[in-house]
């Protein structure tokens, strides 16, 4: 059943435009694609573009925080700390295994019509849907 309470086309469009602009800005200022897992890894391991990488990562934290403050939103994904930790490790493993994350493949790769990125993003989405379904069925959320 579709929950139309979460249907937000206007804010989704604005968010998509902001993401697109950020990707273009990052590409033109650093010469690199904006894949979050790569940016995070390069911030730790590579001194090239470290300042730009840190600014990008801070924007990922500050932007949603400002949104939550402005809208007095109560946003919670889960209260389960073990689930967050296991999920974080699985995402890290998956991004290494898949040679990129949803932002790198889904935003940058698909926009370049990369077949590898289209397939990877399709697999990401299918696995995410299956994971949510299973976790809801066993009562973990």
Cβ count within 10 A of residue 86: 11
pTM value > 0.75? no
List the pLDDT tens digit at each of the 141 positions of the chain.
Answer: 556 667 788 888 988 888 888 888 888 888 887 788 888 888 888 777 788 888 888 988 888 788 778 877 676 666 777 877 887 778 777 777 777 777 788 888 888 888 998 998 898 889 888 988 888 888 766
Those residues whose C-beta lies under 8 Å from the C-beta of residue 84, and which sit 6 or more positions away, are: 78
Residues 89 and 15: their CA atoms lie apart, in Å, by 27
């Amino acid at each position: 059943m579709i929950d139309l309470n979460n249907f937000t086309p206007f804010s989704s469009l604005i968010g998509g435009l902001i993401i697109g602009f950020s990707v273009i800005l990052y590409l033109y200022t650093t010469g690199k694609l904006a894949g979050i897992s790569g940016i995070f890894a390069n911030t730790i391991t590579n001194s090239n573009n470290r300042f730009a990488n840190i600014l990008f990562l801070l924007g990922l934290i500050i932007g949603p925080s400002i949104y939550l403050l402005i809208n007095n939103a109560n946003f919670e994904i889960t209260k389960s700390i073990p689930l967050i930790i296991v999920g974080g490790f699985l995402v890290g493993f998956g991004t290494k295994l898949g040679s990129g994350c949803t932002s790198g493949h889904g935003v940058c790769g698909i926009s370049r019509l990369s077949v590898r990125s289209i397939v990877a993003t399709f697999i990401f989405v299918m696995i995410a849907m299956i994971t949510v379904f299973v976790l809801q069925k066993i009562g973990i959320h």
